[in-house]
Structure 1
Amino acid sequence: MSGRSKRVASPCVSVCALDENDVCIGCHRTGDEILHWTRLDDDQRRDVLRKVSEREQRSII
Protein backbone atom coordinates (compact mmCIF):
# COMPACT_ATOMS: atom_id res chain seq x y z
CA MET A 1 0.00 0.00 0.00
CA SER A 2 1.22 3.48 -0.86
CA GLY A 3 2.15 5.94 1.89
CA ARG A 4 -0.26 8.43 0.36
CA SER A 5 -3.90 8.08 1.31
CA LYS A 6 -6.84 9.17 -0.78
CA ARG A 7 -8.00 12.79 -0.23
CA VAL A 8 -11.39 13.54 1.32
CA ALA A 9 -13.76 13.71 -1.66
CA SER A 10 -15.89 16.67 -2.57
CA PRO A 11 -19.61 16.37 -1.73
CA CYS A 12 -20.51 17.91 -5.13
CA VAL A 13 -23.51 16.24 -6.80
CA SER A 14 -23.44 18.42 -9.95
CA VAL A 15 -26.54 20.38 -8.92
CA CYS A 16 -24.87 23.76 -8.65
CA ALA A 17 -27.03 26.69 -7.57
CA LEU A 18 -26.63 28.95 -4.56
CA ASP A 19 -29.71 29.88 -2.55
CA GLU A 20 -30.41 33.26 -0.93
CA ASN A 21 -28.06 32.30 1.95
CA ASP A 22 -25.12 31.55 -0.42
CA VAL A 23 -25.50 27.80 0.19
CA CYS A 24 -25.50 25.35 -2.71
CA ILE A 25 -28.82 23.51 -3.03
CA GLY A 26 -26.95 20.40 -4.25
CA CYS A 27 -24.02 19.89 -1.89
CA HIS A 28 -24.97 22.28 0.95
CA ARG A 29 -21.58 24.03 0.96
CA THR A 30 -21.30 27.81 1.06
CA GLY A 31 -19.86 29.68 -1.88
CA ASP A 32 -16.63 30.24 0.06
CA GLU A 33 -16.37 26.55 1.00
CA ILE A 34 -16.77 25.59 -2.67
CA LEU A 35 -14.26 28.22 -3.78
CA HIS A 36 -11.58 27.12 -1.30
CA TRP A 37 -12.19 23.33 -1.34
CA THR A 38 -9.12 22.44 -3.41
CA ARG A 39 -6.84 24.33 -0.99
CA LEU A 40 -8.20 22.73 2.19
CA ASP A 41 -6.34 19.92 3.91
CA ASP A 42 -8.25 16.78 4.85
CA ASP A 43 -9.00 17.93 8.41
CA GLN A 44 -10.46 21.17 7.07
CA ARG A 45 -12.47 19.21 4.48
CA ARG A 46 -13.89 16.97 7.23
CA ASP A 47 -14.90 20.10 9.16
CA VAL A 48 -16.73 21.39 6.06
CA LEU A 49 -18.43 18.00 5.63
CA ARG A 50 -19.67 18.15 9.25
CA LYS A 51 -21.18 21.57 8.53
CA VAL A 52 -22.64 20.26 5.26
CA SER A 53 -24.32 17.42 7.17
CA GLU A 54 -25.83 19.88 9.66
CA ARG A 55 -27.12 22.13 6.86
CA GLU A 56 -28.54 19.16 5.01
CA GLN A 57 -30.42 17.97 8.10
CA ARG A 58 -31.86 21.46 8.68
CA SER A 59 -33.03 21.65 5.07
CA ILE A 60 -35.03 18.40 5.45
CA ILE A 61 -37.02 19.68 8.43
Structure 2
Amino acid sequence: MSDLHDRPDSPCIGICSTLFDEVCQGCGRTALEVSNWVFMNEAERRAVWDRIEREGTAIRFRRQAAAGQR
Protein backbone atom coordinates (compact mmCIF):
# COMPACT_ATOMS: atom_id res chain seq x y z
CA MET A 1 0.00 0.00 0.00
CA SER A 2 1.29 3.47 -0.87
CA ASP A 3 1.67 6.20 1.71
CA LEU A 4 3.15 8.65 -0.81
CA HIS A 5 -0.29 10.17 -1.41
CA ASP A 6 -0.14 11.48 2.18
CA ARG A 7 3.04 13.40 1.40
CA PRO A 8 3.76 16.32 -0.94
CA ASP A 9 4.94 15.40 -4.45
CA SER A 10 8.47 16.31 -3.42
CA PRO A 11 10.30 17.13 -0.18
CA CYS A 12 11.41 20.42 -1.78
CA ILE A 13 10.44 23.61 0.06
CA GLY A 14 12.13 25.99 -2.38
CA ILE A 15 15.20 26.62 -0.25
CA CYS A 16 17.83 24.84 -2.31
CA SER A 17 21.47 24.62 -1.32
CA THR A 18 22.67 21.73 -3.47
CA LEU A 19 24.97 24.03 -5.43
CA PHE A 20 26.96 24.56 -2.24
CA ASP A 21 26.13 21.58 -0.03
CA GLU A 22 26.14 17.82 -0.62
CA VAL A 23 22.85 17.61 1.28
CA CYS A 24 20.22 20.29 0.69
CA GLN A 25 19.65 22.36 3.82
CA GLY A 26 16.01 22.90 2.78
CA CYS A 27 14.74 19.38 2.17
CA GLY A 28 17.50 17.05 3.35
CA ARG A 29 18.04 15.25 0.03
CA THR A 30 21.43 14.76 -1.59
CA ALA A 31 22.17 16.56 -4.84
CA LEU A 32 21.82 13.21 -6.64
CA GLU A 33 18.43 12.57 -5.05
CA VAL A 34 17.22 16.04 -6.04
CA SER A 35 18.34 15.66 -9.64
CA ASN A 36 16.92 12.14 -10.00
CA TRP A 37 13.66 12.61 -8.06
CA VAL A 38 11.42 12.64 -11.17
CA PHE A 39 12.98 9.37 -12.35
CA MET A 40 12.65 7.50 -9.03
CA ASN A 41 10.02 4.84 -8.53
CA GLU A 42 7.69 4.78 -5.53
CA ALA A 43 9.94 2.57 -3.39
CA GLU A 44 12.97 4.79 -4.02
CA ARG A 45 11.03 7.94 -3.16
CA ARG A 46 9.64 6.32 -0.01
CA ALA A 47 13.17 5.37 1.07
CA VAL A 48 14.34 8.97 0.63
CA TRP A 49 11.29 10.33 2.52
CA ASP A 50 11.85 7.84 5.34
CA ARG A 51 15.53 8.78 5.65
CA ILE A 52 15.02 12.55 5.65
CA GLU A 53 12.15 12.25 8.14
CA ARG A 54 14.26 10.03 10.40
CA GLU A 55 17.22 12.44 10.24
CA GLY A 56 14.94 15.46 10.73
CA THR A 57 17.78 17.96 10.21
CA ALA A 58 16.50 19.84 7.15
CA ILE A 59 14.71 23.18 7.43
CA ARG A 60 11.55 21.36 6.26
CA PHE A 61 11.45 19.45 9.56
CA ARG A 62 12.64 22.23 11.84
CA ARG A 63 9.74 24.37 10.56
CA GLN A 64 7.24 21.57 11.21
CA ALA A 65 8.58 21.09 14.72
CA ALA A 66 8.33 24.82 15.44
CA ALA A 67 4.77 24.93 14.11
CA GLY A 68 3.83 22.05 16.38
CA GLN A 69 5.08 23.92 19.44
CA ARG A 70 2.73 26.85 18.90
Q: What is aligned with 2:40? A: 40
Unaligned 5+ segments in structure 1 are: 1-5
Distance 1:48 1:38, change over 3 A: same
Q: Deviations along 1:6-60, whole A, 9 cap, x unmatched?
A: 6x6101000001354x000000000000011000011110001011112325886
Task: Spell out structure 1 runs of 4+ moving beyond 6 A.
Answer: none
CA distance in 2: counterparts of 1:14 and 1:36, whole angstroms: 17
Task: Please provide the CA RMSD for this pair.
Answer: 2.5
Please, which runs of 5 or more residues in structure 2 have no aligned partner?
63-70
TM-score by length of 2: 0.62
What is the total number of aligned residue pairs between the two structures? 53
> Percent same amino acid among aligned pairs?
28
Q: Given the two structures, how large is their TM-score scaled by the length of structure 1?
A: 0.69
Write the distance in 2 (CA, Å) between the matches of 1:32 and 1:55. 18
